[in-house]
Amino acid sequence: MIALENVSKTYGKQLALARTSLTFATGGITALIGPSGCGKSTLLRLMLGLIQPDEGRVIFNGEHMTASNVESARHAIGYVIQDAGLFPHLTARGNVVLLAIFLKRNASWINERVNNLAELVRLPREALARFPRELSGGQRQRVGLMRALMLDPDVLLLDEPLGALDPVVRSALQAELKSIFSQLGKTVILVTHDINEAAYLASDIVLLREGRVVQRGALGELLRHPAEPYVKQFIQVQRPMVAELR
């Protein structure tokens, strides 16, 4: 379980996140959605301890996240960033096993884990020996997902994981991601700006605007009982048909 308690963050005078409390239950799949600058990436980075909240605290597996335990917390949180964020000087395999080797995990365990993960994300075995620049965009994203899952984390954070891909690859990968999520059964928190993607992958949607949580719930609930007119407006722009029908 990961939770934010009365957390807020400003950059200078710019409000990134107003005081917010959110709890993400174990095994749940949540999408953080909203226009750019709404604070959804700030939320993810707060949960990883990459930035410190001005007030409030982040609770991970029952513990207050501090400078002293943030590194071990990160080992239990898999993070997939847009365009994968693979290290260009390491092969795909080198990227995936980097942390496990640093933590001196057993070599045969590492091999078995890599094989299983490659199967899970459907990455061809020969691609593991390639450098990131030799991989397609979709393959890079699969390797990024393998890297995030390597240590079998409790929580998986994904920041626009499909944002850099073309629409065809994107829709294929959405289906794959959905199946991977269901096989893993992990807590998944996903940032996206696409309401279709959010609704397809997640049962729980958190809509943000200007650093504030506007509404949280399933897509149907957001449509039927919008907390404010903006909710309907945001969904309607991307899903006019659905909005009309409901």
Site for another protein in 4-33 (CB under 8 A): none
The only residue of 15, 18, 59, 98 in contact with another protein, by rule CB under 8 A = 98
| Residue 155 · residue 2 · CB < 8 Å | yes
Q: Which of residues 42-61 bind another protein (CB under 8 A)?
A: 45, 48, 50
* Cα 136 to Cα 51: distance, rounded to the nearest angstrom: 31
Q: Pull the structure tokens for residue 113.
A: 């884990």
Q: Is 63 in the site for another protein (CB under 8 A)?
A: no
Which among 23-31, 97-105, 219-227, 229-237 is the span making contact with another protein, rule CB under 8 A?
Answer: 97-105
Query: What phi and psi, each to the nearest 5 degrees, are found at residue 36?
Result: -65, 145
Does residue 35 bind another protein (CB under 8 A)? no
How many chain residues are in contact with another protein, going by CB under 8 A? 29
Of 1, 18, 19, 75, which lies in the binding site for another protein, with binding defined by CB under 8 A?
75
Whole-number minimum distance, CB 150 to another protein, in Å?
9
**Applying CB under 8 A, does 88 fall inside the site for another protein?**
yes
71 scored as a contact of another protein (CB under 8 A): yes
> CB of 79: closest distance to another protein in angstroms?
4
Is there binding between residue 120 and another protein (CB under 8 A)?
no
Give the x/- contact pattern for another protein in 144-183, rule: CB under 8 A.
Answer: ---x------------------------------------
List of residues contacting another protein (CB under 8 A): 45, 48, 50, 70-75, 77, 79, 81-83, 85-91, 98-99, 102, 131-134, 147
